[in-house]
Amino acid sequence: MSAAPAKTVIVTGGAQGIGKGVALRLVEDGWSVVIADRDEEAGQEAAAELAARGQVRFIPTDVSREESVRALVAECLAACGRLDALICNAGLADPGATPVERLELGQWQRVLDTNLTGVFLCVKHAAPHLRGQGGSIVTIASTRALQSESNTEAYTASKGGVVALTHALAMSLGPAVRVNCISPGWIETHDWQKSARRHAPCLRPEDHRQHPCGRVGAPADIAAMVAFLISDQAGFITGQNYVVDGGMTRKMIYV
C-alpha cells in the first residue's frame, strides 16, 4: 500500500524575504512546499537551495492575475495531489512613499492588486481544495495596518484590507478551513534575497535596543508563527491577527 502524499502548502512570494523563511521552516517540518513567485530567477534559486532539505518546487506566479493563480493551483494539485495550507505572503512595498496629492491611481492600484486582490484570488481558487483537507490559510499583513508613517497610503490600505479580509474569510470558510493573519513588524530580510541582491544587514545597536524584545526580527520569527497556525495545535484559532513585532506597537514613544 503506497504512502499518502505529504501535506502540501503554497507559499506566495516564497522566493525571498519572509516568504523564503517560511518556505524553509515548512520544508524542514516535512511539508511539500510550492513556492509561488513572479521573480523566476529568485524562485529557481530558492527552490534549488531548499531542495536538499525536502520536497519543494517553484511555480512562476503573478498573484494579481487570476489566470496565473488558477494555473498555480492546478499545477500544484497535478504535481502534489493535494493542498492542505495556503500562505498569502506576496506583496509590494509602498510606491516611493509618494504624498497622497501626487499618488497616481496606477501606483495605488498596482499595490492593492498584489497585496489585497492577490490574497482574494489565491483563496478563491485554493478554497475548494483546502475544504476537502480541513486546511488552513495564513495571510501576511503588517503592523502598518495598525499604525502609519506619512505617505504610505497604498501600502497601509492594502494591509488593513488583508486584516479585514482575513476575519471575513474565517467566517465564510469555517469550520472546514481556518484563516488567520500575521502582522510583522521590522523583519530584517537583506540576507534573505536572491544572491544578486543579497547583502549583510546593516543594523545598529540602537535598532535592536528600541524593540522591547531587544532585537530586530528575523524571517524565522514569522515562520514559527506560520508553522503553529497551520498545525493541529491551533485547531481552535481562526479569524485572528497576530502582531509579531518585538513589542513595538505597544511601546509609548515621546520625542
Catalytic residue set: 155
Give 19's contacts (C-beta < 8 A, 6+ positions apart): 11, 12, 13, 35, 37, 87, 89, 90
Residue 17's identity, in one-letter code, is G
- Phi and psi dihedrals of 199, rounded to 5? -155, 160
Element spanning 157, H or E? helix 153-173
Question: How many CB atoms are closer than 10 A to CB 203?
Answer: 13
Using an 8 Å Cβ cutoff, are 79 and 10 in contact? no
Give 221's contacts (C-beta < 8 A, 6+ positions apart): 184, 187, 244
Q: Rounded CA gap, 180 and 241, in Å?
A: 6
Dihedral sign of CA atoms 238, 241, 244, 250 in order: negative
Helix (H, G, I), strand (E, B) or coil at 68: helix
Q: How many distinct helices (H) and strands (E) make up the chain?
A: 8, 7
Residue 212's identity, in one-letter code, is P
Q: State the cell numbers at 253.
A: 514613544
Dihedral sign of CA atoms 82, 87, 93, 99 in order: positive
